[in-house]
Amino acid sequence: MIHSRNRASMNTQETLVIFRRWRDGGSIIALFPELPSDYQGYYCVAYEHVGQHGGADYQGVIAATNPVEPDDAADLAKELTRIGYRLKPISRATQHHHEARRAEARRVRSAHS
């Protein structure tokens, strides 16, 4: 998994996040639609209490989850803030967010070439 932002930039830049709950009534997942988890930008970075950072298929997670109220995501938001994120919650990712993720993956890929 690539994670293109270092701790210093995480503290200064707002990071878009979408909080969702698995349909089986399970845990809440945070999706970061602009952060790539692979070098092609197909997958976005995701975070859960158990398992923590990983990659996620944005559309697949949206299909398998339900939106949550801000209060329901408060514990996960606090955990993410504690590890250095400045969160900006949104309800859905736009095409612009997905394009930004792919552009960031290209930038990271070319930096490693």
User: With 80 as the cut, is the pLDDT of residue 2 above it?
Assistant: no
Query: How confident is residue 7, by pLDDT bands cut at 50, 70 and 90?
Result: very low
- Asked if residues 78 and 3 have their Cβ atoms less than 8 Å apart, the reply is no
Beta strands 44-48 and 65-67, pairing class: unpaired
Distances (CA, A) of 23 to 53, 63, 66, 73: 20, 9, 6, 15
Whole-number pLDDT of residue 84: 95
User: Three-class SS of residue 68?
Assistant: coil
pTM of the model: 0.89
Once rounded to an integer, what is the mean pLDDT over residues 49-60?
A: 92
